[in-house]
Amino acid sequence: MPAWADEDSNLWENTAAPWYWASKKKFDDTVSQLKMFKQAQQAELLMSYRYSPFLRSFLAQEELYEVDYYNVFDDIQAIKDVHPRNFDFKDLAWPQGIEFYYTPFIVVARLKDQVWGRIEFSTDGKVLKIIRFKADEEITYWFDDRGFTSSIEVKASNNQKHFQYFLNPFGQWRIRLNVLTGEVAVNQKFAHDFERTEYSTFADLQNEKLKAFIDANLKPNDTLVVAGANYQVGFIAELKVPRQQVIFSIFAERLAITKDNLQKMSEYGEYFVVDTDSHLQLVTSNLADCRQICKVLQITPFDTRLRLGHSQKEKKLKIFWLLDGSSEAEIQNYFREVLDVMGANQLVELVIAANNEWNQQRLTNIFMPIINQHKMADEVTFDFLEQKDDEMEDLLDFKPKLPPKRLIRFVRIYSEETYLEELDDTRIILDLSNEPNLYLQIAGISAGIPQINRITNSYVKSYQNGLIVTSKVQLAGALKYYLEGLSHWNQALVYAASQISEYSGTNLINKWNLFLKKETVDE
């Protein structure tokens, strides 16, 4: 049971967004777990209870092909055995004389010089919704990625009326939601598919369908893996799944690990899996005095895949430094040491990686004063600070040959693929935060790249596959340890090869099975 929606969103809000709203891809434990279970040929089923008419597109983007799933809305809307089909929005029954105007973001439909509506698309280019503008109301047609209208939302311009009709694949409405009150009415034609004809809240209808599915399908030997989130607890409480069959997956990027949160979960789940050493200690201590017996396992949600890097074949010596989780003062202190190493070795290049919180101006303010202090402004530069003088380019038939500047390149982390692309020619991974990025650690092991961390953890062993530095003074020595020659780098590669097996999907699934006292699987 994943947690793929914001906690404050309504159950009926579409989880798919227009392509231009798409936020950066988040690392998710459920996605990784599904991949591992599938690879180990463990029977699995994804249970989704949010309105997700683009669920198949999402699964395809995550490379979760052929994953069995149950979706509450498919049940409510009587959608089954529908073969996907593509359609062109122009093939719909538009009014005579309609004209389409293409913008970089949407398609605007105009009729007699008036905006009639607009068409918006998903991240994979399919029609997501068509909005029809009228004088007194706005009608939104939401589409399913299988090629039919999924729901119709009618909203009065004075906000006094707001309904959403959920349709079957033949265009007949099955339920009508009053968005203002949350009440649900069932179409009398389909009343035989529901226990009631009216529901005071959407959650009542949802829980009815979920409970019926669980009662019919959950066998005594099955385990329900629940992505730990506060709003999940209420659903589990309603489903009344035996406590010994529930395991909560605690992923710190999603859940605040507090005593209150965990002890609520402990009422409905006997097992907990956590991602890192520090979170294991935090979860264990917060569950110490709960009324129920709980079992906790620390296990990475990310498995290793053999993707050995090729930096030993490169003349350059690339350092990949992830800034997330470090303060500006810490970064400046460590950067001085890195810059000293760059000054002593002309082959060293630096790639700085971060998420959306770090913008160009902020990075410039952090790094440029130190570069100027080291009198290296003529030697190094940031790629996003380079600007071409086009007017001068046109005037000169030739350019004077100047010494090339060494690049300190900035990379925005949008997805797992960004990491994998950068690590292919990386010599050293640098993550000096209080909580090293777990995905980067596993990706580094997969690529056989030594890692330098500041915090002792399960995944980096000093003088094996990396080094733990306790001060900025030690950083320069740690960098030189792996940059000067390949001997130490090769030792780290050999050790990483043994870790690749330890953290393989099959081994991780076996740890799950042993934890749950189930049969293990073979490689």
Distance (Å, rounded) from C-alpha 101 to C-alpha 109? 6
Residue 22 pLDDT more than 60?
A: no
Q: Which pLDDT does position 389 carry in this prediction?
A: 42
- Write the pLDDT tens digit of every residue in 218-258: 999 999 999 998 888 888 888 899 999 999 999 877 877 88
Protein fold of 89-200: Outer Surface Protein A; domain 3 (3.90.930)
> Please, which residues have CB within 8 angstroms of residue 97's CB and are 6 or more apart in sequence?
111, 112
- Percentage of residues in the chain with pLDDT exceeding 70? 93
Distance (Å, rounded) from C-alpha 426 to C-alpha 454? 19
Looking at residues 489-518, what average pLDDT do you find? 87
Q: Which CATH superfamily is domain 311-502 in?
A: Glycogen Phosphorylase B; (3.40.50.2000)
Which regions of the chain carry the CATH code 3.40.50.2000? Answer: 25-80+207-298, 311-502
Which regions of the chain carry the CATH code 3.90.930? Answer: 89-200
8-12, 101-105, 208-212: range with lowest mean pLDDT = 8-12
Q: Which pLDDT does position 62 carry in this prediction?
A: 87
Residue 95 pLDDT more than 60?
A: yes
Average pLDDT, the chain: 87
Token pair, residue 369, equals 């004063």
The backbone region for 97, taken as left when phi is positive above 0, alpha when psi lies in -120 to 50, beta otherwise, is left
Q: Are strands 317-322 and 348-354 parallel, antiparallel or unpaired?
A: parallel
Q: What global pTM score does this model have?
A: 0.83
Distance (Å, rounded) from C-alpha 459 to C-alpha 221? 32
Q: Which pLDDT does position 385 carry in this prediction?
A: 43
Q: Is 342 exposed, middle or buried (0-12, 13-18, 19+ CB in 10 A)?
A: buried
> Please, which residues have CB within 8 angstroms of residue 290's CB and are 6 or more apart in sequence?
262, 263, 266
- The confidence band for 403, taking pLDDT boundaries of 50, 70 and 90, is low
Q: Does domain 25-80+207-298 have CATH number 3.40.50.2000?
A: yes
